[in-house]
Amino acid sequence: MARQKSILKLEGSIGDVSFYKSGGEYLARTKGGVDGDRIKTDPAFARTRENGAEFGVAGKASKLLRTAFKAPVAAIADNRVASRLTTQMLKVVQSDTVHSRGERTVQDGNLSLIQGFEFNVNTGLEDVVKAAYSVAFDRVSGEASVTIDFSNPSLELNQVEGADQAQILIGVAAVDFENNEYEVDVLEADAVSMASTEAVLVQQTASVSANSTRPVFVIVGVMYYQSVNDELYLINSRIAGHLR
């Protein structure tokens, strides 16, 4: 890597030299690496091809799950959620004991490896909710439910500047990774006053088709709002989402 010192700053390629901008600086570097056609055909790169194929499967699965929970993820997720979830999905792919390397799948892997995944790594659900809570899914009915028993919301909900209301959300998705399809339902419970000192029992249920044979994922999150003239406005500074 070299810095460009001329008055004329370049971006692009000339011969074997690539010019680009990074971190406010104009840089240059020579092209390198193995020819792409060789990687695709040379037996010496068989492991590379296998790793690439499985990484692609993990990336596709990560995108599908994030798309299924598009609305809450858009509000909750940090800016590295795609790479973090893909990393976890790759572990799921690698846990497949049915297929050979390079052909392993998400659906035949151990999907419990992504249980507890935080969509916002900076704000874990248990950092935000201090009250006892439970999350359940009934495959026969297709219902996913969350119950949180607040004895004193003012102490058991993490306080956020500008917010005076909090809503617990639950989402459930039945995902078909093989056919790139999903069914999803996301709901929010009634708002809870963050200043309240009285006990509140929060319960909410979302559902997918009964007796689904697809892998099912449940997301639980907390959304913070400011109440103005009986309308709620989302506060983006402190929200959490947790995958079950």
- Express each pLDDT in 88-141 by its tens digit: 999 999 999 999 999 999 999 999 999 989 988 888 888 888 999 899 999 999
Report residue 58 as tokens. Answer: 């993990």
- 61, pLDDT greater than 90: yes
Task: Please give the helix or strand (H or E) that residue 52 lies within, else none.
Answer: helix 46-68
Order of strands across the sheet that contains 17-22: 2-3, 25-30, 17-22, 12-14
SS3 142: coil
Rounded to an integer, what distance in angstroms lies between the CA atom of residue 208 and that of residue 147? 18
Closest CA to 182 of 120, 106, 109: 106
Mean pLDDT (the chain, rounded): 84
